[in-house]
A and B are shown apart, each in its own frame.
Chain A
Amino acid sequence: MDFLRPASWEEALAAKAAHPGAVPIAGGTDVMVEINFDHRRPEHLLDLNRVEELGEWEADGDTVRLGASVPYTRIMEHLRGPLPGLALASHTVASPQIRNRGGVGGNLGTASPAGDAHPALLAAGAEVEVASVRGTRRIPIDDFYTGVKRNALAADELIRAVHVKRASGPQQFAKVGTRNAMVIAVCAFGLALHPDTRTVRTGIGSAAPTPVRARAAEDFLNAALEEDRLWDSGRAVPPSVAEEFAALCSAACNPIDDVRGTAGYRRHAVGVLARRTLTWTWEAYRGTGRAADERGGAA
């Protein structure tokens, strides 16, 4: 196995063009496990750790451009304001040591349905910036996941960054595991309110072959919020609407039974998380700009 260590982004793209089978490695969270267990033995490893700009972010404008290797720890510390959903998701990634090394680029590269960042990126409506010697393009997150552990990257492309709109409303992320830390998701759910466009977006993890949005649930909720003029009135979401939204989120799952949980549980739990995160975000939205801030989520 050859270990390629490009010193710059251009060198990295050149190396990837020369060796399309090369496996990029940054934090190594997923790649090292696969190598250690001999599940994967690539001809070339492409070490991206010398490419400094991958570890940087720009948050000046309306959109955050988050370098693929920015560690989860940094997202938690510095990007809680513009990227609240992703910051919450980052909290749940593995252990502090791994959060110090791992970044969103790894989650996207592996494209496992269990990647913790996916539901938050789906709910926020991110775009993935990918590049090759041929040029740069942006892939909407909705088009990024193409199959079980497969994504829309071409063989010569590398993930440069994700572009995420600065949050215009409350976002939430919740993940079920059978341990209180260092656990792979049994299922996960991300929800973002976008008051600027008067839409709600969702993301579901570990409950389908790929990370997915609950589109029917979103459509139903968007229509219900519109119909009852709730964006304007700031009234509570009627329980029947929340229940229907939760049921549609459950229905959006296509889970399997495995050692981490049953399909039935995953469907059930996604529904519970959908209802709860909707309540939390909507209550937070109602609280914004109103007299007493009763947020914080206490039931």
Chain B
Amino acid sequence: MTTGTGAGTSRTGTATTGAAGASGPGGAAGTARTTGTAGTPAGLTQHSGTRGGIGESTLRPDGTLKVTGEFAYSSDMWHEDMLWGHILRSTTAHAEIVSIDTSAALAQPGVYAVMTYDDLPTDVRHYGLEIQDTPVLAHGRVRHHGEPVAIVAADHPETARRAAAKIVVEYRELPVVTDEASATAPGAPLIHENRTDLPQGPPTGSGPGGTPVTGHVPHPNIVHRQPIVRGNAEEAARRADFVVRGEYTFGMQDQAFLGPESGLAVPGEDGGVDLYVATQWLHSDLRQIAPVLGLPEDKVRMTLSGVGGAFGGREDLSMQIHACLLALRTGKPVKIVYNRFESFFGHVHRHPAKLTYEHGATRDGKLTHVRARIVLDGGAYASASPAVVGNASSLGVGPYVVDDVDIEAVALYTNNPPCGAMRGFGAVQACFAYEAQMDKLAAAVGMDPVEFRRLNAMKQGSVMPTGQVVDSPAPVAELLRRVKAMPLPPERQWESSEGADVRQLPGGLSNTTHGEGVVRGVGYAVGIKNVGFSEGFDDYSTARVRMEVVGGEAVATVHTAMAEVGQGGVTVHAQIARTELGVSRVTIDPADTRVGSAGSTSASRQTYVTGGAIKNSCELVREKVLELGRRRFGTYHPAWATAELLLEDGKVVTDGGEVLADLVDVLGEEAVEVEAEWRHRPTRPFDPRTGQGDGHVQYSFAAHRAVVEVDTELGLVKVVELACAQDVGKALNPLSVVGQIQGGTVQGLGMAVMEEILVDPATAKVRNPSFTDYLIPTILDTPTLPVDVLELADDHAPYGLRGVGEAPTLSSTPAVLAAIRNATGLQLDRTPVRPEHLTGTA
């Protein structure tokens, strides 16, 4: 095996993290955490004796490598004698494929293989997270711009690219379906004829959400539909003194991860294949890849390679099957790396949405009812659309108490780019709309928007529109109070004795204003996000933990299939092992499929679920170690039999602090190893007609306050400050928690003022597949980001923790929008806001 990288850094090696690099409590994170802790979670008894455990801001083992450019990403892999794969993609959004002529490509010197649908080795020729509707290569028809049609392997990437360009595909254009009207019009072309997923039984344990596809979608171009009906909204509406309505549009956001899709497939001597790939869930990939290759799952050996960001965009397969097919066909290793242009076609995006809302309130400011209809555009293939619908509908009211609710969410099949998972997953789109409504309604009632929210905020014990009781802290009102109580940034910060400092103004160094036309606005928003997979999905993780003596020291090895996509799982896993096992040296083995599934790195779930699995396996290891100790030393000290025993600082100690033995002596030559699955509390599917059911595991809450300066004449916005207060249950690594909150906040800012994939409504073709025209915030667009971390333990979760990654992505966007509305007085019912919308020149 000669897999490696040019830089000589072995990514597939193990990451060993010692406690030595840890900053102590109150290290770097201390400055960003502006508040202390409320509620002490269980398990802390282990913490005091071992450095680098949970609650400390230990540093990332991969941090320095990434900052210095030495980290090997999946696109950096190399194998002796490897070929390069390239994918030919459709140039049109909807067409019949009349013919494909690959002869010129095959004739090109250096080309080893060209494959189309007809060359696929088995009868399994489709894949998909929830519905297997996506062809490995297009068959007779393409349904969206950029759909894979043929694949090429050659001895040089440029050769492969040029050969692909010589493949002649004759298309016969078909009319395009681009929105709800064209999808459900009489005689509308069916995106998927002969759907076999209608109806379907209960969740099969496949794919995120595991949502059953029910038989009551009104049209075959609707992937999934979920109503949420509670109380009687129509009747409640009659009690409302104020009713506000709005129709909102949410644009198509891209994950815009910086490491493009890439991987390396190496054919094995046993007829199998080794696949090194950047993904979010190795075992989900495996389940989809193996049947297409015609291989048993144990012959497709997957190893996670360096992931350059994911945000949901790596939940679906990209180049995995294509690289394996070419490797097995040619007998040579095949590497595929998308370029940036291709990456925009190579992964799903966040569903754009149209959301229609009606809210009512009484004179004293209590919500009476919410009626809503949410239409999500799923594009050409299902991806995670059913689960996104489940989230958008069940979380569609937001973190408020409303007894009478009538919501319907649907996802469409269209010829637009396929949409699926992205950080916030359905809850983001809904939050944008219901928070705009809450401001509108507060204004109608004549209340301060924050006080109006606080008055209606849910709390522990509140009932969701699904009937689920929120049975852990839900400090919505407190988060709003905290974020409002933060000091505001000074007015007119651009003024200086030297004149205007344009860096503090909209437009920045582009020098568009020296203060003319600039108006400040302040806006608030709060959101609710579910943590973990929902709706009855069997959401588990597997952890293998070994403890042994190496070099005269007790060390732990943790092996999971958890995809480290930048969230810091490798850091937190070592912290958990240190805390539970009282060792300082912890080795994190590379994630691969030689260990059981860890589930997906998504839904804010990995610290909860794989962290929980590691904690659980560590506890089982600890029991075994103590048993070993009792056998060896039990006769020397009665405490072995009578006391509560802990592992701390490399020793077995009593709860009173007395040292009984050194772990080195207890273990001796033995290695103690446990591999076990761990599950969170089960959830239930939503009723297909009423949406009632305990569908979610845990909820996570964040509130934002945005302060903006708007150049009202040019329509340019500078976000000056974006403050966040979030309850995280327990911050296992406070520095990482703050990083997640700041990252999610900035991703939401991007959605508010610049990020949008533009699709031509006439042709369904993508207009801006580049970082030149798909803009994401730079550091100069990033405002001050004060973070107030609240820690109210969820007693059902390991250490009381709450998944943190997604909640800040929800409320950031509507807070910025609210601030811009506050500055301009405009309605602004779509996001992102463009200068045209602020200047009446759209």
Enumerate chain A interface residues (CB-CB to B < 8 A). Answer: 36-38, 88, 91-92, 172-184, 186, 259-262, 264-265, 267-269, 272-273, 276, 279-280, 295-299
Contacts and interface: CB of A to CB of B under 8 A. Distances in A.
A269 B778 contact: no
Contacts of B715: 265, 269
B616 to A, nearest CB: 46
Given A265-B715, A269-B835, A180 B507 contact: yes
Contact of A265 (B777, B780, B835): B835
B389 to A, nearest CB: 29
A173 B511 contact: yes
A180 B514 contact: no
B839 A176 contact: no
Contacts of B835: 176, 178, 186, 261, 265, 269
Contact of A179 (B339, B494, B714, B781): B781
Nearest to B833: A178
A299 B516 contact: yes
Contact of B758 (A182, A183, A259, A264): A259
B500 to A, nearest CB: 5
For the complex of A and B, 10 pairs with smallest distance between CB atoms: A296-B499, A180-B508, A297-B514, A299-B515, A265-B841, A264-B841, A181-B780, A175-B510, A180-B780, A259-B768
Contacts of B754: 178-179
A298 B514 contact: yes
Given A179-B781, A262-B842, A272 B713 contact: yes
B512 interface: yes
A174 B499 CA distance: 16
Given A268-B839, A268-B841, A295-B499, A88 B511 contact: yes
A166 to B, nearest CB: 21
Contacts of A268: 839, 841
B836 interface: yes
B523 to A, nearest CB: 19
B841 A179 contact: no
A140 to B, nearest CB: 26
Nearest to A184: B772
Contacts of B714: 176, 269, 272-273
A264 B839 CA distance: 10
Contacts of A186: 835
Given A37-B341, A179-B754, A179-B777, A174 B500 contact: no
A80 to B, nearest CB: 13
Contacts of B97: none
Contacts of B772: 184
Interface residues of B, number: 43
Given A181-B780, A259-B768, A295-B499, A176 B510 contact: yes
Nearest to A33: B772
Contacts of A279: 516
A179 to B, nearest CB: 5
A126 to B, nearest CB: 20
B836 to A, nearest CB: 5
Interface in B469-499: 494-495, 498-499
Interface string B526-551: 00000000000000000000000000
A262 B836 contact: yes
B450 interface: no
Contacts of A276: 512-514, 516
Nearest to B162: A38
Given A174-B511, A176-B714, A276-B512, 15 more contacts: A173-B511, A174-B510, A178-B834, A180-B510, A180-B780, A183-B510, A183-B775, A260-B773, A262-B841, A264-B841, A265-B836, A265-B841, A273-B714, A295-B499, A297-B500
A298 B678 CA distance: 62
A220 B834 CA distance: 33
Nearest to B511: A174
A296 B500 contact: yes
B65 interface: no
Contacts of B7: none
Interface of B: 161, 339, 341, 494-495, 498-500, 506-517, 713-716, 718, 753-754, 758, 767-768, 772-773, 775, 777-778, 780-781, 834-836, 839, 841-842
A170 to B, nearest CB: 13
Given A88-B511, A276-B513, A178 B753 contact: yes
A37 B718 CA distance: 32
B511 A92 contact: yes
Given A176-B714, A179-B777, A265-B715, A280 B514 contact: yes
B768 A264 contact: no
A298 B839 contact: no
22 contacts: A36-B339, A174-B511, A175-B511, A176-B714, A176-B716, A178-B775, A178-B835, A179-B777, A180-B506, A183-B775, A262-B842, A265-B841, A269-B715, A272-B517, A273-B714, A276-B512, A276-B514, A296-B499, A297-B514, A298-B499, A298-B500, A299-B515
Contacts of A38: 161
Nearest to B515: A299
Given A178-B754, A276-B516, A297-B500, A261 B781 contact: no
A177 B510 contact: yes
Nearest to A263: B841
B500 A259 contact: no
A298 B502 CA distance: 10
A202 B270 CA distance: 72
B197 to A, nearest CB: 35
Nearest to A293: B499
A113 to B, nearest CB: 15
Contact of B775 (A36, A175, A179): A179
Contacts of B514: 276, 280, 296-299
Contacts of A181: 508-510, 778, 780-781
Contacts of B839: 265, 268-269
A46 B233 CA distance: 72
**Which of the listed residues A37, A295, A296 has the most CB atoms from chain B within 10 Å of its own CB?**
A296
Contact of A298 (B495, B716, B718): B495
Contacts of B512: 174-176, 273, 276
Contacts of B495: 298
A180 B781 contact: yes
A172 B517 CA distance: 18
A78 to B, nearest CB: 18
B506 to A, nearest CB: 8
Nearest to B711: A272
Contacts of A172: 511
Contacts of A177: 507, 510
A88 B835 CA distance: 22
Given A37-B341, A262-B841, A297 B499 contact: yes
A180 B836 contact: no
A11 to B, nearest CB: 29
B403 to A, nearest CB: 42
Most buried by B among A36, A88, A262, A298: A298
Contacts of A180: 506-510, 718, 778, 780-781
Contacts of A91: 509, 511
A55 to B, nearest CB: 24
B159 to A, nearest CB: 13
B513 A296 contact: no
A38 B158 CA distance: 10
A175 B512 CA distance: 6
Given A262-B841, A296-B498, A299-B500, A176 B516 contact: no
Contact of B773 (A259, A297, A298): A259
A127 B576 CA distance: 68
Contacts of B511: 88, 91-92, 172-175
A256 B644 CA distance: 76
Contacts of A179: 754, 775, 777-778, 781
A186 B509 CA distance: 15
Given A180-B718, A181-B781, A298 B515 contact: yes
A181 B782 CA distance: 11
A174 B507 contact: yes
